[in-house]
Amino acid sequence: MSEFILTFKLIQHTPLIHFQHNQKGATLRATEMKPKLDRFIIETIKEIPRDWFVGKGDHPALDYKLNIETAGVKRSYIINNHLSDTDKKNIQKNKAIPLAPSPYFADAEHIKNGNLHKVRKGIIGIIYDEKRKECDYEISIYFFSFNPEILKVIDSHFRIFLFLNNFGTRQSKGFGSFSLKDTSRREYEDLLKKETIVYYKKTNEPLKTINNDYTKIKSGPQFSKPLLSQYFTEKKIANWEKGIIIRDLVQNIGNPEKRVYDNKGEYQFIRALLGLADSYHYPKRHHKSEVETVYIEWIPGDKYENNKEYIENNKIERFQSPITFKVFENFVYVISNNSYKSMLGQKFRFYSDLDKKGIVLTVPEKFEINDFLQKCLINLGYKRL
């Protein structure tokens, strides 16, 4: 490290889904990485000298510049939750690599119709080669600052920052996972478990494993309750919201099957604890190819300040899951954060085009994510580091 420049070499473990995929040299975006790294350093160090910030210290950005460069062969992936054999052949004809199943659902209609020119090939990246123990694509990151103390802090924090964060679209589901080039798996695991509670599983298909496991955790396989719902039922706290939504809002569905849904007790918006969207889709019972869209509107209360970054004018911006899947070589790691706490006790109105009045459901007041993960991940074959 020179006095004013700090350099790192990165290895990429999973494809990065990039919104500017068509641009030459598209890779990690400095505009995404720098704010995340700044926030990580500020939250970690707590008291930072005022002259470390841009300008007079009024802007929450540290005074350094970040440049990302790439070299070598770049592979393009078209990723989806499901790809038929025909889809895969069409993708290969378009000089891309099909990758499915995975926890990525966008562009499914374009892929199905063969409109690959409309597909977001923001799906780019190089997967780490376990056999060769190397990656045939080099990513270099350069930090520049006239303040050597800032570079020293970046040097001591950047490695664990990469271990705890992914980048690009669907980053909480394992996409955009990177590490420093000289990192061993033992070092990766030792640093991770110093920072947070970590669970891991070995697999030859990391993204498929993440897709299958997260489905079991949050939404549940067909005709089964998700592990999140089972957790609340066993603790006799609340019932999964899906039963009452289907019963009261989704037309032509009939009554929920008793072996799947318990209609007794209080229904709560349990799913919100692991991430929030502005709508959900439910299949109609007699027209399974058709879906009913159920919209969600936040009801302001005394916790507005905790949520204004996620909700504007009662309309919900996506609230990312507090569970993050990391990939290193052929291992999947699960870590979590406390962002879900801002959702505790919140109220939401659910409504459809056929029922504008809708129903109101509340997110549970109490939830301990570490207790939940210990129970559900062990059930899924993970081990704790």
Secondary structure of 166-188 in the HEC alphabet?
A: CCCCCHHHCCCCEEECCCCHHHH
pLDDT at 117: 52
HEC-encoded secondary structure of 65-104: EEEEEEEECCCEEEECCCCCHHHHHHHHHCCCEEECCCCC
Per the model's pLDDT, the better-predicted residue between 261 and 182 turns out to be: 182
Q: SS3 breakdown of the chain: % helix, strand, coil, rounded to 5? A: 30, 25, 45
- The arrangement of strands across the sheet holding 279-283 comes to 279-283, 291-299, 347-352, 355-362
193 found inside a domain: no
Q: Is the pLDDT of residue 173 over 60?
A: yes
Q: 241 versus 105: which is more confidently predicted? A: 241
Instruction: Say yes or no: 312 and 174 in one domain.
Output: no
Q: What range does the domain containing 372 cover?
A: 207-384
Are 273 and 148 in a shared domain?
no
Bridge-partner residues for 295, per DSSP? 279, 351
The reply to whether 52 and 135 lie within a common domain is yes
C-alpha separations of 361 from 133, 255, 302, 352 in Å: 50, 19, 16, 14
Instruction: Read off the pTM.
Output: 0.83
Across the strands, what pairs with 62? 53
Number of domains, the chain: 2
* Residue of 62 and 58 predicted with greater confidence: 62
Which structure tokens are listed for 289? 């190819």
- Residue 61 tokens read as 């950005």
Q: Are residues 170 and 231 in the same domain?
A: no
Q: Could you tell me which residue, 222 or 187, shows the higher pLDDT?
A: 187
Output the pLDDT for position 123. 46
When pLDDT is averaged across residues 101-122 and rounded to a whole number, the result is 57
Question: Residue 257 pLDDT > 50, yes or no?
Answer: no
User: 3-class SS at 32?
Assistant: helix
Largest CA distance in the chain: 70
Q: Which of 183, 198, 216 is the last residue of a domain?
A: 183
Instruction: Please count the other Cβ atoms lying within 10 Å of the Cβ belonging to residue 335.
Output: 20
Ramachandran region, residue 311 (left: φ > 0; alpha: ψ -120 to 50; beta: rest): beta
Same domain, yes or no, for 41 and 152? yes
Which residues are bridge partners to 58 per DSSP? none
Task: In whole angstroms, give the CA distance from residue 80 to residue 65.
Answer: 35
Q: Are 228 and 218 in contact (CB under 8 A)?
A: yes
